[in-house]
A and B are shown apart, each in its own frame.
Chain A
Amino acid sequence: MSLDTRVSGRFWGRFAVVLVGVALLGAASAVREFDVSIRDRHVEGGQSTLRVMRGDTVLMRLRADETVSLHLHGYDLRADLSPASTTSVRFEATIAGRFPITAHEFGAAAGNAALPTKHREVTLLYLEVLPE
């Protein structure tokens, strides 16, 4: 009887550990999705900071009403947007910090490598990756 209880106790203990593990794994690999729409050179809805936890997978769906090149600093990711389509960017948020997402070359100049590199950038929003 007492043996049985101990065995079942151990079983439930292990079950709990597995359950917690799965839950942690689920939390750690959560996919955080954001829709960011740029109109008149500003983020629609005045969205200024996206917050995720370290370890999350970030999926950003980006739209703009003109061609523009976006740059997520720190992670050094770049995305060229055109008004016709939605651009998706997906990455693992492995480093904590506050990273600006800036716009380069609004309008027809986007993607033109011949233009001077020292140009004005506009910070559109920030991505905050918080330590878990």
Chain B
Amino acid sequence: MNGRAAIGVTICSLAAAGDAHAHGFGARYDLPIPLPLYLGGAGLTVAVSFVMLAAFMRSAPGSNAYWHFDVTRTFFGRLLAAPGFLLACRALAVALFLLVVAAGLFGVQSPLKNVAPVMVWAIWWVGMAYISALLGDLWALVNPLDTLFAWAEALHARIRPGRNLASGVHYPGALGAWPAVVLFVVFVWMELVWDHSDTPAYLAAAMLAYAALTWLGMLVFGRAQWLSRGEVFALVFGLLARFAPTEVRDAGADGRRVWLRPYGVGLLASEPVPPSIVVLVLAMLAAVCFDGFMETPLWARLLERHAPELSGNADATRTWISTGGVIGTPLLFVAVYLLFCRLSIGCGGARASLMRVAGLYVLTLVPIAIAYHLAHYLSFLTMAWQYLIPLASDPFGFGWDLFGTKSHFIRIGLIDARAVWYIAIGAIVSGHIAAVYLAHCVALRSNPDLRTALRSQWPMVALMVCYTMTSLWIIAQPIVATR
């Protein structure tokens, strides 16, 4: 018998529909990092931390100034900064936003035959995070909600000159960025727990609800106020973009200047960030970790123990447990972070308040989260973006073939599995190095002398090693479906 009969085997296109998924949309076929690579990465992390601490004892990083290059001086830079180009980008983003909402509301209600889920979860959420961290704050330039409101303001100013569209209510300072923190936790819940995260109509409805909330916030408090306190994606992508090698500077009469700068310098805070931003950053770190943790066998066992597959209300119980995780993980991260900040104050011996130290160091953890995010989503993104090729021809799932790409075949394994492993380990160790270095720079600025600065660093480095190890452990776990 040669077994080639393969009775009943059919190849079905887009059979991945209904795949078990943990993050909003789509399946991942990543292999776990093999044990030797995992141990190697972990060992390297610890070794590098010690070598860096030792090196810092001899020479300390210098002043606040950093290398930069004004791109706007070059021809290419002027082209990029031209108002026409910017307007075109914004109009494109608005058009895409409207297309996704329309496809979600009126298109076929299937996760892979409608353009909405892949655009929202893969291209926009994962992709924009990549762009923000590696290139710059694109969302600040093309945010369609912001653009639409700005256009409405301009229109209003023309119709009724001298009167503002926004009512200009004073934003209560005590509220800080807490609205964004709450919205972020809700968003993470939608991504990781919500049953309808890949149902196009529900996604479109959520987008419209969020747009309405954003415009209400802008209407009441003004555009700039809401963008910096309540528009959670402006804040989240903005925080990631502090790592990026570009920054936009207002040069007064000269207009805007675009600077190239070294990676990570934007994360060096000279003043502590407010408590709401501390919590938002920690919630971001918690979200990327919990996302990965939800695919580990450990989590699957936990669910199976507390909500067995065959029990009557397994689904409801599992939803509650996951919801508890989405809320509990950020709280756990905040508690652990504050504990290590307290330890850092104790070791350093300098007088500083807990919230000041927490606000100074929290941004230095961001590179580890970015590195883990890159490692975790690399192969997912290389697979998921390909869905745009057939979906561009048929965004609503009506059977159109606008560009003749309707039956494009999705290739998995576009990047070699071994390459993915090495990139993942490399990214995570590099992120760790960046974090340790940045924390050291912050310590030097905020402590009276090198000795105090170094002593205050031990707990921070220990915390970073723990966080990096957690990231490594997650990508060394086999992905398991739990729903």
Binding site for B on A (CB under 8 A): 49, 59, 61, 71, 73-74, 76-81, 85, 87-91, 95-100, 102, 117-119, 121-123, 126, 128-131
Of all chain B residues, the one with the shortest Cβ separation from A87 is: B7
Of all chain B residues, the one with the shortest Cβ separation from A130 is: B31
Complex: A100 Cα to B15 Cα, angstroms: 13
Q: Which residues of A contact B20 (CB under 8 A)?
A: 100, 102, 121, 123
- Determine whether the beta carbon of B19 is less than 8 Å from that of A97: no
Q: What is the 8 Å Cβ interface bit string for chain B, positions 1-17, against chain A (1 contact, 0 not)?
A: 11111111111110111
Instruction: List 5 A-B residue pairs with CB atoms under 8 Å apart, sorted by A's residue number.
Output: A59-B3, A77-B10, A89-B9, A97-B29, A97-B413
Given A77-B11, A98-B31; 15 other pairs, CB 8 A cutoff: A59-B3, A71-B15, A73-B29, A76-B12, A77-B10, A88-B1, A90-B4, A90-B6, A95-B412, A96-B31, A98-B30, A117-B17, A129-B31, A130-B31, A130-B417
Residue B27 lies at the interface, judged by CB distance under 8 Å to chain A = yes
- Determine whether the beta carbon of A96 is less than 8 Å from that of B3: no
Residue B145 lies at the interface, judged by CB distance under 8 Å to chain A = no
6 tightest A-B CB contacts, nearest first: A97-B29, A96-B417, A80-B8, A95-B413, A88-B3, A131-B418
Residue B355 lies at the interface, judged by CB distance under 8 Å to chain A = no
Q: Which residues of A contact B27 (CB under 8 A)?
A: 73-74, 100
Of all chain A residues, the one with the shortest Cβ separation from B111 is: A118
B10 → A minimal CB distance (Å): 5
- Determine whether the beta carbon of B6 is less than 8 Å from that of A88: yes
- Determine whether the beta carbon of A76 is less than 8 Å from that of B7: no
Residue B176 lies at the interface, judged by CB distance under 8 Å to chain A = no
Q: Which residues of B contact A90 (CB under 8 A)?
A: 2-4, 6
Q: Which residues of B contact A88 (CB under 8 A)?
A: 1, 3-7
- Determine whether the beta carbon of B31 is less than 8 Å from that of A128: yes
Complex: A96 Cα to B9 Cα, angstroms: 21
Q: Which residues of B contact A98 (CB under 8 A)?
A: 29-32, 478-479
Q: Which residues of B contact A130 (CB under 8 A)?
A: 31, 417
A118-B18, A126-B478, A130-B31 in contact; A78/B10 too (CB < 8 A)? yes
A56 → B minimal CB distance (Å): 14
Residue B481 lies at the interface, judged by CB distance under 8 Å to chain A = yes
- Determine whether the beta carbon of B31 is less than 8 Å from that of A97: yes
Q: Which residues of A contact B416 (CB under 8 A)?
A: 96, 131
Complex: A130 Cα to B18 Cα, angstroms: 25
Complex: A80 Cα to B388 Cα, angstroms: 31
Q: Which residues of A contact B8 (CB under 8 A)?
A: 78-81, 87
A98-B32, A117-B17, A123-B20 in contact; A77/B413 too (CB < 8 A)? no
Complex: A101 Cα to B6 Cα, angstroms: 16
Contact of A97 among B4, B412, B481 (CB under 8 A): B412
Which secondary structure dominates where chain B touches chain A?
loop
Q: Which residues of A contact B12 (CB under 8 A)?
A: 76, 78
Q: What is the 8 Å Cβ interface bit string for chain B, positions 453-468, against chain A (1 contact, 0 not)?
A: 0000000000000000
How many residues on B have C-beta within 8 angstroms of the other chain's C-beta atoms?
A: 34
A71 → B minimal CB distance (Å): 7
Binding site for A on B (CB under 8 A): 1-13, 15-20, 27, 29-32, 309, 412-413, 416-418, 478-481
- Determine whether the beta carbon of B19 is less than 8 Å from that of A73: yes
Q: Which residues of A contact B3 (CB under 8 A)?
A: 59, 61, 88-90
Contact of B9 among A59, A79, A85, A126 (CB under 8 A): A79
Q: Which residues of B contact A59 (CB under 8 A)?
A: 3
Of all chain B residues, the one with the shortest Cβ separation from A49 is: B478
Complex: A24 Cα to B1 Cα, angstroms: 25
Of all chain B residues, the one with the shortest Cβ separation from A71 is: B15
Complex: A93 Cα to B32 Cα, angstroms: 18
Q: Which residues of B contact A81 (CB under 8 A)?
A: 8
Q: Which residues of A contact B1 (CB under 8 A)?
A: 88
- Determine whether the beta carbon of B417 is less than 8 Å from that of A97: yes
Of all chain B residues, the one with the shortest Cβ separation from A96 is: B417
Complex: A49 Cα to B13 Cα, angstroms: 25
Contact of A77 among B5, B9, B309, B480 (CB under 8 A): B9
Q: Which residues of A contact B418 (CB under 8 A)?
A: 96, 131
- Determine whether the beta carbon of B417 is less than 8 Å from that of A131: yes
Query: Which residue, B3, B12, B30, B32, has most C-beta atoms of chain A within 10 A?
Result: B3
A73-B15, A118-B18, A123-B20 in contact; A97/B6 too (CB < 8 A)? no
A97-B30, A98-B31, A98-B478 in contact; A76/B15 too (CB < 8 A)? yes
Complex: A90 Cα to B6 Cα, angstroms: 6
Complex: A117 Cα to B27 Cα, angstroms: 17
B296 → A minimal CB distance (Å): 13
Of all chain B residues, the one with the shortest Cβ separation from A60 is: B3
A49-B478, A95-B412, A98-B479 in contact; A121/B18 too (CB < 8 A)? yes
Query: Which residue, B7, B29, B30, has most C-beta atoms of chain A within 10 A?
Result: B29
Complex: A71 Cα to B14 Cα, angstroms: 12
Complex: A78 Cα to B6 Cα, angstroms: 10
Of all chain B residues, the one with the shortest Cβ separation from A61 is: B3
Complex: A100 Cα to B7 Cα, angstroms: 20
Q: Which residues of B contact A71 (CB under 8 A)?
A: 15
A112 → B minimal CB distance (Å): 14
A90-B3, A90-B6, A98-B479 in contact; A78/B15 too (CB < 8 A)? yes
B218 → A minimal CB distance (Å): 38
